[in-house]
Amino acid sequence: MTDAVELIRAKRAGQVLTDDDIRWLISGYTSGDVADEQMAAFLMAVCFRGLGPGELRAWTSAMVESGERLDLSSVPAPTVDKHSTGGVGDKVSLVLAPLVAACGVAVPQLSGRGLGHTGGTLDKLESIAGWRAGLSAAEMMSVLRDAGCVICAAGPGLAPADRSLYALRDVTGTVDSIPLIASSIMSKKIAEGTAALVLDVKVGSGAFLPDVADARLLAQTMVELGAEYGVRTSALLTRMDSPLGRAVGNAVEVEEAVATLRGDGPADLTEVTLALAAEMLAVAGITADPAAALASGQALDRYRRMIAAQGGDPEAPLPQARQAEKVTAGQSGWLRRLDARAVGVAAWRLGAGRARKEDPVNHAAGARCLAKPGEWVEAGQPVVELLADEVARLPAARQALACAIEIGPEPPDPAAMVIERIRS
């Protein structure tokens, strides 16, 4: 079949497509011969019907082959990247990349922008005056050699098919599909040329996959894809029922990440970051203590070097919202739940995220979690602070939190942030 409509019908009917069919579809979409609306229909069919193992391999390979592949062989240190499936308040990369670099591992991290109710690492870092996400391959290598880590956008020549599909999925309700998530992530990482990869697969209300079984399947799928391409890959399943840390947005998350690099970060964010750092060092074969690198200030120094090398001023003041409103506790008791998805939607409505792929984000907008589950709150005590530049955005954000806060007479059961580890 070499007709987009026939391929849509075939996938909708549950038929297995050939490698040639898939290569033709990806190539046609990249060249513009397959229209956005046709690919959107196909993606929706995949959401309902899935991709078989052979189809997934062909889909991933076609995206890798749609562009160039980076050569990191000249980097003197072992290379390890990390990728998160997305969460609310997930600023881990901002702390993790310089932390692992301080331990002797080179971290070439290609990151993305906000997708749905979750934030994007590049959007966060663009809160910093002068910082650039778009680097050439030569610039990326220069930053990597100088700072030991780089966080940037995938270049236009790196898996270009995924770049287009990523934006289309965001606005067509086709984000939460295991094969589409797995192929999107792994095509970029394979093309990037890193020797090893650690995946942070989020589980909970704020994740794209709230169910542990689905998250485990996604992790296993990506670990297997990595192994097929010779990339040492492992995954951690981590909790995302409540926002990670206390800041949700762009500038506010940068502020919290820097506080964490100074050793003054929230306990849950620090726990997840150190666990991922240990996993990255393990797959790289490096023996080092990430907690010591964090405490010593070495990680903060690497962060500053990375930001400066990408044109940013690490000392520049961050954008501040012009409007703020506090959401308070309706009764006294233990905060049992602060729903991550609801807080993410609230931040998105305040302007921290985008509704369409071409929309800008407001770097000052977001939310602060003034209380977290497991803490005692008094009636009338502020639980969440909403931040916006436009007062008109506040009511819709407040509405998103209508059922997000649960207070009870008993504290929630404590739980470790890392649920399990998956390796090939």
What residues act catalytically? 83, 162, 169, 184, 188
- For 238-251, give the DSSP string: EE-SS-SSSEEESH
Instruction: Retrieve residue 115's tokens.
Output: 């997708």
Instruction: Retrieve residue 285's tokens.
Output: 């074969």
Sign of the dihedral through C-alpha 163, 165, 171, 176 = negative
For residues 16 and 254, give the distance between their C-alpha atoms in angstroms, rounded to a whole number: 45
- For 90-135, give the DSSP string: --HHHHHHHHHHHTT-BEEEEE---BTTB--HHHHHTTSTT--S--
Alpha helix (H) residue ranges in 229-284: 251-261, 267-284
Q: Collapse the DSSP code of 251 into the 3-class scheme (helix H, G, I; strand E, B; otherwise coil) and give the result.
A: helix
Taking the alpha carbons at both ends of the chain, their separation in whole angstroms is: 35
Instruction: List phi, psi (to 5°) of 239.
Output: -75, 140
For residues 108 and 142, give the distance between their C-alpha atoms in angstroms, rounded to a whole number: 11
For residues 125 and 95, give the distance between their C-alpha atoms in angstroms, rounded to a whole number: 12
Q: Collapse the DSSP code of 417 into the 3-class scheme (helix H, G, I; strand E, B; otherwise coil) and give the result.
A: coil
Instruction: Retrieve residue 362's tokens.
Output: 């407001």
Question: In one letter, which amino acid is 344?
Answer: G
Please list, residue by residue across 290-324, b when 16 or more beta carbons sit within 10 angstroms of its beta carbon and e when fewer do.
Answer: beebbeeebbbbbbbbbbbbbebebeeebbebebe
- Tabulate helix, strand, coil % of the chain (nearest 5): 45, 20, 40
Instruction: Retrieve residue 143's tokens.
Output: 């930053």
**267-270-273-275 Cα dihedral, nearest 10 degrees:** -70
